[in-house]
């Protein structure tokens, strides 16, 4: 495959940013801007409107209006990766154009996830139609592979086909398969061409970087950004494996709970803002007992979120 090296100003680590909601269920752009600014000061980018953002509990209009507010609030658009994938091609095109109009050229795009047992030809046709309808050479798509949720597996041959057809547009992937052999196979096959592979879990961060991956876009970057960014910047140093173990310890605590509700519990606690506890149905807040247990476990490892 022809080598196409892609220039990117995206950091090695991005948070799939959790979304604060108002009492009426609408996204609170002001609180989200503050959270994104805190993440930025801790050295990580912002992959907004992803799984952990509860993006599929928001309308396309809500997401587009919120992105406008974030950009108008001064966020660095080179460090923002909006999620624009939807089951509808038109919705995907509209959200992608909106991102580009706000100078966010890198987007993360889910495959169409409603129908199951779809073919590579069908997936190729979806992405191809989106790219052609958007019609903007600046667009850089990171495909979002999350088969535990979508029940869609993105084959290596499909990725190769997309890159061959759109070498300057399909530039990377976030792999949340949780399947390290798959992640490694994508890195080995496609990273030498310039394709940027982000692991979807910081538990794979050192392995991904050593294999030639770009970094990670991972849930608990929301709560532990500085330590994860530090490891990404210093993965060649002698203490990298111990730092990885330390990150895994934090993640293991949150993985005992529904992750989004758990992270919101931590943010609500450390920011002293209980509004952060809100999630959108069908998700539910942690019970008071769960909240107390989570915070106690974090205290036991001296976890903190300074500057929040």
Residue 45: CATH number of its domain: 3.20.20.70
Question: Is 31 part of the annotated catalytic residue set?
Answer: no
Q: Looking at the domain assignment, is residue 102 inside a domain?
A: yes
Q: Which domain holds residue 124?
A: 13-236
Number of domains in the chain: 1
Q: Looking at the domain assignment, is residue 172 inside a domain?
A: yes
The residue from 174, 198, 257, 264 that is catalytic is 174
Per residue in 125-151, pLDDT tens? 999 999 999 999 999 999 999 999 999
For residues 37 and 76, give the distance between their C-alpha atoms in angstroms, rounded to a whole number.
9
Q: Looking at the domain assignment, is residue 154 inside a domain?
A: yes
Query: What is the chain's mean pLDDT, rounded?
Result: 97
Of 81, 82, 77, 52, the residue nearest 65 (C-alpha): 82
Predicted structure pTM score:
0.96
Q: Looking at the domain assignment, is residue 247 inside a domain?
A: no
Per residue in 58-109, pLDDT tens? 999 999 999 999 999 999 999 999 999 999 999 999 999 999 999 999 999 9
Beta bridge mates, 109? 143
Q: Looking at the domain assignment, is residue 188 inside a domain?
A: yes
Q: Looking at the domain assignment, is residue 302 inside a domain?
A: no
Residue 83 backbone dihedrals phi, psi, to 5 degrees: -80, 125
Question: Is 174 part of the annotated catalytic residue set?
Answer: yes
What is the enclosing helix (H) or strand (E) of 231?
helix 225-233
pLDDT of amino acid 6: 60
217 labelled as ligand-binding?
yes
Q: Looking at the domain assignment, is residue 261 inside a domain?
A: no
pLDDT of amino acid 8: 84
Q: Looking at the domain assignment, is residue 63 inside a domain?
A: yes
pLDDT of amino acid 176: 97
What residues contact residue 152 under an 8 Å CB cut-off, 6+ apart?
A: 111, 113, 116, 118, 123
| Regions of the chain where pLDDT drops below 70 | 1-7
The residue from 126, 142, 144, 198 that is catalytic is 144
């Amino acid at each position: 495959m022809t080598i196409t090296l892609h220039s990117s100003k995206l950091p090695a680590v991005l948070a799939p940013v959790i979304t604060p909601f108002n009492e009426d269920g609408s996204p609170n752009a002001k609180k989200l801007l503050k959270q994104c600014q805190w993440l930025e000061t801790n050295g990580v980018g912002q992959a907004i409107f992803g799984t952990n953002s509860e993006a599929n509990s928001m309308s396309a209009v809500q997401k587009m209006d919120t992105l406008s507010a974030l950009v108008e609030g001064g966020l660095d658009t080179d460090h923002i990766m909006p999620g624009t994938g939807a089951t509808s091609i038109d919705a995907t095109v509209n959200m992608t154009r909106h991102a580009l109009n706000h100078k966010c050229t890198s987007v993360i795009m889910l495959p169409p996830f409603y129908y199951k047992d779809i073919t590579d030809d069908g997936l190729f046709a979806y992405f191809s139609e989106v790219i052609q309808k958007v019609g903007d050479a600046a667009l850089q798509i990171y495909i979002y592979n999350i088969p535990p949720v979508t029940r869609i597996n993105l084959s290596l041959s499909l990725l190769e086909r997309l890159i061959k057809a759109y070498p300057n547009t399909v530039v990377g992937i976030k792999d949340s398969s949780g399947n390290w052999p798959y992640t490694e196979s994508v890195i080995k096959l496609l990273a030498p061409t310039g394709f940027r592979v982000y692991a979807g879990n910081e538990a794979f961060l050192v392995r991904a970087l050593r294999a030639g991956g770009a970094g990670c876009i991972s849930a608990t970057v929301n709560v532990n950004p500085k330590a994860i960014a530090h490891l990404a910047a210093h993965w060649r140093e002698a203490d990298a494996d111990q730092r990885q173990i330390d990150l895994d310890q934090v993640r293991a605590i949150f993985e005992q709970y529904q992750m989004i509700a758990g992270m919101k519990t931590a943010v609500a606690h450390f920011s002293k803002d209980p509004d952060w506890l809100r999630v959108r149905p069908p998700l539910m807040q942690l019970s008071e007992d769960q909240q107390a247990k989570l915070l106690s476990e974090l205290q036991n490892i001296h976890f903190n979120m300074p500057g929040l």
